[in-house]
Structure 1
Amino acid sequence: MNQAVNPFHPDLRRAARLIPNITVTRQVLAVMRFLARFQPKPRVPEDVAVEDTRVPGPAGAPPVRVRTYRSRTIQGPTPALLWIHGGGYILGQPEMDDFLCIDFARELGILVVSVDYRLAPEHPFPAPLEDCYAALRWLFTQAGTLGVVPERIAIGGASAGGGLTAALAQLAHDRKEVRPTFQLLVYPMLDDRTTTRTDIDGTSHRCWNQGSNVFGWRSYLGHEPGSAQVPAHAVPGRREDLSGLPPAWLGVGTCDLFHDEDLTYAGRLKAAGVPCDVSVVPGAFHGFDVITRDAGVARDFRGVYAAALRRALFTTRDS
C-alpha cells in the first residue's frame, strides 16, 4: 500500500499489513474456539485478587460464571464495573480481557466483574443478554457483601460486549430493577443493518469484516440480519427512544466497520438528552488496542476510556 494513501495510523501500519483477512464461518469459529484455549494468561500481580464465582442465572437457565478483580490495597466500599467481553456474540470468555480488567482494578481502585455469558449460535438472543442482566442484578443485590457502592456501578464492554452493554442499559432502564450509572462503549457492535450496506469499502477493515459481521448477527439473532423487525433489546441501534439511558462514552476508529453505526448511535443518544462523550481514533482498526497493546495510540486510547470511567465513578454529582 502506498505510504501517501495509507489509511492506518502510523503506530498500526505494520500490524495492519500482517493481520490476515479472515471471514468467520462455522468451521473457522470452531478453530478459533479451539485456539482460544491456549491463549496466554497474564501474571496476576500480588496486589490484585482474581476469583471465579457462579451467580444465579436467568430463570430456568444455568448459573453464570463471573470473574472478579479487586485491588488488595483498597479499603472500604468502592465503585464497580460490570465488564462484558467481545467476540462477535460467538466467541470469547472473561480471561481474554484479564490484562484490561486487572488494569481497571489496580489503576481505578474498583471492583471489576467480567461476565462469562453464553455464546451464539448455540445460545442466540436473548440468552447472552439475560446472562449479563443476571450478573448485573447480582452485583446490585450483593453490593453490601461485595463492598460496592450501588450508586456507582457502571457497565462496559468492547465490540459485541459493547453492543451487549448498550442493550443491557436499555433492558435495565425498561425493567426498572437496577440502574447502572454509566455505560462504556468501546467500538460497540450495535446495529445489524450494517450487514445490508453495499457502499462499504472493506479494504481498511481488520479483525472483523462484513462477512464476519453477517455471520455474527445471524448467529445471535437466529435469522438473517437486516430484517424489517427484530425483538426488543436484540439490536440496541434499532431502539427508537433512547431517552433516560445512563450517560455514555463511546470510542471507535476510522478504519473500523462499526465506525458509522457507532457515531450514529452516539448522535442519537445526545439528541435524546443522554450525555455521550465520543472519541474517534484516526486510522485505527477494530480491536487495535488489544492487538497492538503496546503501541502508543493503543495506550492513549485505553487511557482515554479509563479516564472517562474514572470521572463517571468518582466525580461527585449533584442529586
Structure 2
Amino acid sequence: MSVLKSFKAKLLRALAKRMKARFTYDPAQHPLRSVDEVDIPTAWGPARALFYWPVVTYTSPLPVYLNLHGGGFVAGVPEHDDSYCRRLAHNLGCLVVNLDYVLAPEHPFPAGLRQSFRVLEWLAEQAADLGIDPQRIAVGGHSAGGNLATGVANLARGHQGLRVVHQIIDYPVLDLLQAPSLKHSPLDKPLLGAGLVRFFNSCYLSDPAQAQDPLASPLLATVEALKGMPATTLITAEYDILRAEGDAYAQKLRQAGVSVNAKMFQGCDHMFTHLGPDASAHEAWQSIEDALREAFHGRAVQENESAYA
C-alpha cells in the first residue's frame, strides 16, 4: 500500500464524514425503542454496528435487515444511512443492523466482504439472546455496499444457521474488471466519474487479477453459479455510470431463476437516494420498504421492471 494511496483514502474519508445527505427523514417521524452501538468480534477486529430497535411487542422473533453503506470500499460511514435505517426499523418492525465494515486500502478485498458475512453469522448465533429470527434476514447496500450485500447473500446460500430471504442492491458496482473509462453516462460530469472509480478499485484490489473473482465482481458469476440466490430488489439510475452493470446483473439473475424487481429511476444519478431528487429518493425507499415487508412475511417478490419519471 503506497503512502500516497493511503493519504488520498484518508482525505476522502474525512470529506465523506462531513458530507450530509440532502434527502433525509425526520427522526421524530420514526420513533424507535433505542439505537445501540455494538462492537461485534471478528477476525478483522471489532466491527462497529448500529442496532435500530423498533417499538414493538415481542410476540415473535424479529426479522433483521443488515445495511451496508456506500463509499467505494474506501470511505463512508453507517451514519450516512441513519434516517433510512430508522424508517425501515420503525415501519417494518424489524431490527436494522447498520454496519461499519473495514475499509480499503488498509483492508483490501475480501476483508470487508468476509467481515460483513461474519457479522451475519454472529447475528444468527446470538439470535436467541437478541430476539431475532435467523431465518428471516435480508441484506442490502448502496453502491459499493450493494456489491458487498450480494456477496454476503452469495456466501449465505445453504447456510445451516441462517437464511437470507431478500437482497437490496442499490445502484451497485458489480464489475471491477471492466475499465472505468468504458462506463458511460449521458451527463458530461456524472457524480461518480471514471477517475474516482479507478482509485477505488486500486485500493480495494491488492492484485488486479482479483477483479475476475465473482465475489469482487458479481456480474462475472456464471448463470449456474447464481442459482439459489435470494429474491432481489435492484435499483439503478439513468445517469449513473454503473447503470449498465446493474441492468446486466438483473438479467443474469433472472436467467438463473431468481425473482428480480428491477427499477431504473429516470433523471437520477448515483446516490440519488441520499441526494435527491426528493420524489425519486422517497419512491426508491418506499420500494425498498415494500420489498422487505413482502420478504419478511414470506410472500414472493413479483417480477416487475419499471422506470420512474
Give the TM-score normalised by the residue count of structure 2: 0.85
Aligned to 2:58: 75
1:172 deviation in Å? 1.9
Aligned to 2:287: 304
- Structure 2: how far apart are the matches of 1:113 and 1:248? 19
Indicate how the Cα distance of structure 1 residues 228 and 145 shifts in structure 2: closer, same or farther if over 3 A, else same. Answer: closer
1:26 deviation in Å? 5.9
CA deviations 1:216-254 (Å, max 9, x no partner) are: 112111234xx5963452221211221111111101111
Q: Which amino acid aligns with 1:310?
A: R
Indicate how the Cα distance of structure 1 residues 36 and 170 shifts in structure 2: closer, same or farther if over 3 A, else same. Answer: same
CA deviations 1:260-294 (Å, max 9, x no partner) are: 0001001000001111110111121000110127x
| Percent pairwise identity | 32
| Aligned equivalent of 2:267, options 283, 305, 310 | 283
- Structure 1: how far apart are the matches of 2:35 and 2:153? 26
1:128 and 2:112 are equivalent in the alignment: yes
CA deviations 1:62-115 (Å, max 9, x no partner) are: 121111001123433221101111101101121111111011111111100111
Aligned to 1:31: 11
Give the TM-score normalised by the residue count of structure 1: 0.82
1:200 deviation in Å? 2.6
Q: Which amino acid aligns with 2:13?
A: R
1:230 and 2:230 are equivalent in the alignment: no
Indicate how the Cα distance of structure 1 residues 306 and 229 shifts in structure 2: closer, same or farther if over 3 A, else same. Answer: closer
Aligned to 1:55: 40
Aligned to 2:252: 268
Q: Give the number of aligned pairs.
A: 288
| Aligned equivalent of 1:100, options 73, 77, 84 | 84
Aligned to 2:303: none
1:314 and 2:297 are equivalent in the alignment: yes
CA deviations 1:152-196 (Å, max 9, x no partner) are: 111111110000011111122276653311111111111113325
CA deviations 1:287-318 (Å, max 9, x no partner) are: 0110127x11211121112111111112456x
1:143 and 2:127 are equivalent in the alignment: yes
1:213 and 2:193 are equivalent in the alignment: no
Aligned to 2:304: none
| Aligned equivalent of 2:155, options 168, 171, 191 | 171
Indicate how the Cα distance of structure 1 residues 127 and 287 shifts in structure 2: closer, same or farther if over 3 A, else same. Answer: same
Q: Aligned with 1:120: secondary structure? A: coil
- Structure 1: how far apart are the matches of 2:220 and 2:158? 15
Indicate how the Cα distance of structure 1 residues 87 and 146 shifts in structure 2: closer, same or farther if over 3 A, else same. Answer: same
Indicate how the Cα distance of structure 1 residues 228 and 181 shifts in structure 2: closer, same or farther if over 3 A, else same. Answer: closer
Q: Which amino acid aligns with 2:54?
A: S
Equivalent residues of 1:205, 1:257 under 8 A apart: no
Aligned to 1:152: 136
CA deviations 1:16-66 (Å, max 9, x no partner) are: xxxxxxxxx7655433322344456987545341111111203xx312111
Indicate how the Cα distance of structure 1 residues 266 and 128 shifts in structure 2: closer, same or farther if over 3 A, else same. Answer: same
Q: Aligned with 1:193: secondary structure? A: coil
| Aligned equivalent of 1:183, options 159, 162, 167 | 167
- Structure 1: how far apart are the matches of 2:76 and 2:47? 15
